[in-house]
Structure 1
Amino acid sequence: MKQKQERIGRNELCFCGSGKKYKKCCGMQHHELSDSIQKQYLDRFGIRLKNEKDIEFLRRAGRLVSDTLSMVESAIHPGMTTDEINTLVHDYTIQHHAIPAPLNYKGFPKSVCTSVNDVICHGIPGDRVLKNGDIINVDVTSVLDGYYADA
């Protein structure tokens, strides 16, 4: 049976035992977190706290996803299929030495999710042709150097 994880937040009591909220205590420190605090977060919440190196890698992954969306936005046009969008995203992601995270995740067959009009989310790209006036959501998730970014 899976245990429900507790919520973590800036307003939680700090693990150092000070009695202060995390945001006013260790959360405001700009130095490396102690191994003790790292372990407590991992044990209690199943979350590995990120250090400056991790944060920089997350930023790089986020920039790639942002750049991917900008590229797709400029390329989308009426007459294009959602599978062509998938190909654009897949190729762009691979060219930037990253992995399209959705591909083969729990059997998902494509590298991006495309949801057109009344499809709420996680649409599978295919032979649907975009028409003028269609509303499309493109959900890009990439893994760069082991770090995920999603937008």
Structure 2
Amino acid sequence: MDNDDVAADAALFARLRHVWETVDPVPADLIDRMVAAVAVHDLSREYALLTLTSASDLAAVRGESDTATLQFSDGKTGVLLHISATEHGARRVDGWVDADALAIRLVRGDQEWTRDAAEHGRFAFDDVTPGLVRLILVVRTSDGIREFQTPQFEL
């Protein structure tokens, strides 16, 4: 390929680009919309809204200081978790999901606990060793089947 061929190809591509820019121009806000869409997707997937609802001020007086209530939501699916310590130092996780959960997993590294949702979206994990975990649910929504993940949290 010589310089004349390269110049001819460049001119042809320039004319094609001009035609497409005239016939079907890129929307002015396309880049901003795409950046926002990716940011929202990442936020809903990796940074689901975490609200820590502390135990009441009386909990320490009542001896229930080893409990916590966590709420996760991405705007479409919500999960409420109540975490309590067992007599043996393990944790019990009681949960409720407001979507049709097809699979519920509590994951820590290579360890995984699986449960099915009962009536009203209730589920529980018994005797889970303390540490960082993540809850992963496969839910059915009006948009189809999708995965919901919480950020890691401490048991």
Normalising to structure 1: TM-score of the pair?
A: 0.34
Question: Per residue, is there more helix in 1 or in 2?
Answer: 1
Normalising to structure 2: TM-score of the pair?
A: 0.33
- Larger relative contact order (C-alpha < 8 A, sep ≥ 6)? 1
Question: Per residue, is there more strand in 1 or in 2?
Answer: 2
